[in-house]
Amino acid sequence: MKYIGPPSFIKAVQALSLLPGVGEKTAQRLIFSLMKNPSEKIPTLTNALTELMSHVRLCSSCFGYSEEVQCPICTDHHRDQSVLCVVEDPTNVFAIERSGQFHGLYHVLGGVLAPLDGIGPEQIRIGELMKRVEASTIKEVILATSPNVEGDATALYISHALEGKSIKVSRIAQGIPTGGSLEYTDQYTLGRAITDRRLWA
Amino acid sequence: MKYIGPPSFIKAVQALSLLPGVGEKTAQRLIFSLMKNPSEKIPTLTNALTELMSHVRLCSSCFGYSEEVQCPICTDHHRDQSVLCVVEDPTNVFAIERSGQFHGLYHVLGGVLAPLDGIGPEQIRIGELMKRVEASTIKEVILATSPNVEGDATALYISHALEGKSIKVSRIAQGIPTGGSLEYTDQYTLGRAITDRRLWA
C-alpha cells in the first residue's frame, strides 16, 4: 500500500496548487521546504498573507490597491492632477509605475468590456470614470487597456463616451517591444509600428 | 515618484520570495492572483499551512512525517517488518513510496554525515537505528542515502556499524535513470551501470 503523506500535508499541497503556475510537484517542493523549519517559516508566511487580506482594500478615488481610504498616488499632490491613466486591473498600476514614465493619476476599471461574458459598461467602472472627469480638472485621459480585442473595444467605448468634453483622449502606443527584433515580430505589430511611427525629434 | 505598492503587499511578496525557486516576480504574480478574491483564497491557504504546522510531527519509530505518535507505515502490519530502508530525509519516504517497490519499514536519519559542517554520527539518528535493529527482528537494512560523497560516507559508516550483527546490508542501485540515454550519461554512472550489471533472469 502506497502512503502519500499525512492528510494535512496533502491538504496544504492542494491549497498551494490552486495558485497559478504551481503544479502538484512544485507545491510539494514548497511544502517540503516549509517543513524544514515549520514553526518559523509557516507563521511568517501566513501572517503576511493574513495582514495583506485585512489591510489592502481599493482606493476610493482610483480603485487601485491601497491600505488607506485613498492610495498614496491619489493623495500625492506632486503628481499631475490633470492626466488620468485608465487601466483594467489594480496590478496594471504597479506595472506602469515601474516604468517611471507616468506622473499623473490612475483610474482602475476592474475589467474590460466582454459582452459574451455578460460584462457591459455597467459592470466596470466607466460611470465612476465619467463622474471623476466631470468633477475635476482633467485635461487628458490615457487609455491604457491591453491592445487586444476586449481592451481595444473598451478603449473605443470610453473614447466615444468622452467625446465633446474638450478632453484630450490618447491610447498607449503599440509597436515592437524594447529589445525585440523585427525578424520575430508578428505582421500586425509590425504594421502598427510603421503606421504609428514617430518623427525623429 | 514611483509607487511600488502597499506595505502589506510588499511584505507578502517578501514572505513568498523566501520559498525555493520563487523569485520576486513569481511572488508578485502569486500575490496578484490571491488578491483577485482575497477573502476566499487567502484563508484557504493560511488555514492549510497552519494546520500542517500544528498537525505534522515526526513519527516516534521511523522519524518520518506523521500526524499520530506513529506514522501509518510503522503501524501497518501488512508491511514487511523485517526490512528497514534507511533514508536521509522525511521527504525521501514519499519518493520511495511513490515507486511502489518497497513494502518494508523506514528509518529517517535526519541528515547525512558531513564532518566539515560538524555533523557526525551523534547528530543524525544512527544511535536510534542501532537500537531499533537490536530491539526487533530486522533481517535486511537497505541503505538508501543519495549516491553522492556524504550519502556514500554515511552508508559506509552504517554498514560498518552493522557488521557482525548477522543482518543483510544492501545499498540502492546506481545506474542509468529509466528513460535516460547512454550518450548523455556521465562516465561514473556508466561505470557503475556496467560493474553493477544484473544477470538477465
Provide the residue-wise pLDDT of chain B in tens; the chain has 201 residues: 466 778 898 999 999 999 998 998 899 889 988 988 888 899 999 999 999 999 999 999 999 999 999 999 999 999 999 999 999 999 899 889 988 899 999 999 999 999 899 999 999 999 999 999 999 889 999 999 999 999 999 999 999 999 988 899 999 999 988 888 888 888 888 888 888 888 887
pLDDT digits (tens, 9 = 90+) for A110-156: 999 999 999 999 999 999 999 999 988 899 999 999 999 999 999 99
Phi, psi (deg, nearest 5) at residue A179: 90, -10
A94 with A123, same domain: the answer is yes
Whether chain B has a CB inside 8 Å of the CB on A37: the answer is no
Chain B closest CA to A186's CA: distance in Å?
26
B152 with B111, same domain: the answer is yes
Residue from B88, B86, B66, B83 nearest B75 by CA: B66
Whether chain B has a CB inside 8 Å of the CB on A15: the answer is yes
The pTM assigned to this predicted structure is 0.74
The domain in which residue A149 lies consists of 72-171
Nearest to B94 among A4, A15, A41 (CB): A4
Q: What is the CA radius of gyration of chain A?
A: 22
3-state class (DSSP) for residue A89: coil
From chain B, pick out residues whose CB is under 8 angstroms from the CB of A105: none
Range 76-115 of A in CB contact (< 8 A) with B: 76, 78-79, 90-91, 93-94, 97-98, 100
B41 with B77, same domain: the answer is no
**Cell reading at A177:** 517591444
Task: Give me the amino acid identity at A70.
Answer: Q
Q: Is residue A33 part of a domain?
A: yes
Q: Is residue A63 part of a domain?
A: no
Q: Is residue A24 part of a domain?
A: yes
Q: What is the pLDDT of residue A146?
A: 93
C-alpha–C-alpha distance, residues B110 and B91, integer Å: 10
Quote the distance between the C-alpha of residue B129 and its chain's center.
17
A22 with A81, same domain: the answer is no
The pairing of beta strand A83-87 with beta strand A168-171 = unpaired
A23 with A103, same domain: the answer is no
In percent, the amount of chain A with pLDDT more than 90 equals 64
Crossing angle of helices B24-35 and B38-55, rounded to 10°: 120
Residue A96 has pLDDT above 80, yes or no: yes
Tally A–B CB contacts below 8 A.
173
Q: Is residue A17 part of a domain?
A: yes
A78 with A149, same domain: the answer is yes
A99 with A148, same domain: the answer is yes
Whether chain A has a CB inside 8 Å of the CB on B56: the answer is yes
Q: Is residue B86 part of a domain?
A: yes
Q: Are A109 and A145 spatial neighbours (Cβ–Cβ below 8 Å)?
A: yes
Chain B closest CA to A174's CA: distance in Å?
23
A44 with A91, same domain: the answer is no
Whether chain A has a CB inside 8 Å of the CB on B117: the answer is no
B45 with B109, same domain: the answer is no
C-alpha–C-alpha distance, residues A20 and B30, integer Å: 7
B127 with B82, same domain: the answer is yes
Q: Is residue B186 part of a domain?
A: no
Q: Are B20 and A30 spatial neighbours (Cβ–Cβ below 8 Å)?
A: yes
Q: Is residue B123 part of a domain?
A: yes
Do the Cβ atoms of B15 and A44 come within 8 Å? Answer: yes
Say which CATH number the domain at B49 has.
1.10.8.420
Burial A144-166, CB ≥16 within 10 A → b, else e: bbbbeebbbebbebbeebbeeee
Domain count across chain B: 2
Q: What is the pLDDT of residue B6?
A: 86
Say which CATH number the domain at A94 has.
3.40.1360.10
Nearest CA in chain B to A53: B38
Q: What is the pLDDT of residue B2?
A: 61
Q: Are B154 and B182 spatial neighbours (Cβ–Cβ below 8 Å)?
A: no
B29 with B111, same domain: the answer is no
ipTM over 0.85: no
Range 126-145 of B in CB contact (< 8 A) with A: none
Q: What is the mean pLDDT of residues A149-178?
A: 92
B81 with B137, same domain: the answer is yes
H or E element that contains B83: strand B83-87
pLDDT digits (tens, 9 = 90+) for A64-91: 999 999 999 999 999 999 999 999 999 8
Nearest CA in chain B to A80: B1
3-state class (DSSP) for residue A23: coil
Do the Cβ atoms of B52 and A66 come within 8 Å? Answer: no
Q: Is residue A192 part of a domain?
A: no
Nearest to A56 among B28, B35, B67 (CB): B35
Quote the distance between the C-alpha of residue A170 and its chain's center.
19
